[in-house]
Amino acid sequence: MELRALHYFVTVAEELHFGRAAQRLRIVQPAVSQQISRLERELGVVLLERTSRRVRLTPAGERVLTAARETLAAAARVRVVAGEPAAALRIGVASCVTQRLDRALDRLRDSERPAEPELIDLPVTARLDAVRDGELDLALVRGAVTTAAVTVARAWSEPLHAVVARTHHAAGKPAVGLDDLDPRGLRLPARDSDPPLHDAILAVLPVAPVRPPAGDLLNVLFEVGRDPEGWTLIPAEQLTGAHSERLLQVPLDPPMTVDGHVIASLTTPGRCVASYVAAFAD
């Protein structure tokens, strides 16, 4: 059982609202929900009753809340006695939770110099600016980052997948080639929503997009879902765990990948950058 899960549970129990709890914890809401569900599975009880209108503690939740507070207080006393509390680590991310992110947070907490990550949801350009200005300790970005104002370190590589409607001719296939997809059906988000990823996707396309990019990823996925010839390209991990009745991910043949980078300040020591890279690496 992780102290993090108990901390999230206590915060939700105090707020009785997942959104407010996420804001207070400075992480994205799905991460809170995921940890609470994992804690409930581990304990074998339902801790919170959730409806569209309210959240409230179950009788088991009331009992666990008391014990969780005592456990967290005891852990805090241990840190004080040890004289080395975990340092806060502000991480700029997109508003999605992936297995890589979840695994990296555990690695950072369990490292030789433990850190307590704080996830901050920001657009890519704002992420880079916040790292440069010292408002974030690091950020995650897919695609090449060419600015000299920050330290850029490659940390992982992940495949690009085609996302198509379930009525698309490629739906259900084990893989599809880019040459087999109609260029007229390609839809991409506007470049300003994520310039590095946008440029990385353009670099692998055999021909230039016919349609001008427009809107954000959510709008693109909505359009693809209702067009039997529509498609887009997305890093495989970006939609991991998401379920849609209209969309399917299809691997590319031949495979194509996009690199993921850790972005840090120019003043961040190299050994720290290396530890961040190790946390997010495969």
User: Which comes out higher in pLDDT, residue 238 or 260?
Assistant: 260
64-114: per-residue pLDDT in tens?
999 988 888 787 667 655 655 567 889 999 866 678 888 898 888 877 667
pTM equals 0.69
Q: For residues 115 and 85, is the Cβ–Cβ distance under 8 A?
A: no
Rounded CA separation 246/223 (Å): 10
187-235: per-residue pLDDT in tens?
999 999 899 999 999 999 988 888 888 788 889 999 999 999 999 999 9
For position 112, what pLDDT does the model report? Answer: 67
CATH architecture, domain defined by 1-85: Orthogonal Bundle (1.10)
Q: Give the per-residue SS3 of 146-210.
A: CCCCCEEEEEEEEEEEEEEECCCCCCCCCCECHHHCCHHHECCCCHHHCHHHHHHHHHHCCCCCC
For position 246, what pLDDT does the model report? Answer: 87
Where does CATH 1.10.10.10 sit in the chain?
1-85
Where does CATH 3.40.190.290 sit in the chain?
87-282
Q: For residues 211 and 187, is the Cβ–Cβ distance under 8 A?
A: yes
Q: Which residues, in sequence order, are CB contacts of 223 under 8 Å at separation 6+?
A: 187, 230
Which residues lie across from 153 on neighbouring strands?
262
CATH topology of domain 87-282: D-Maltodextrin-Binding Protein; domain 2 (3.40.190)
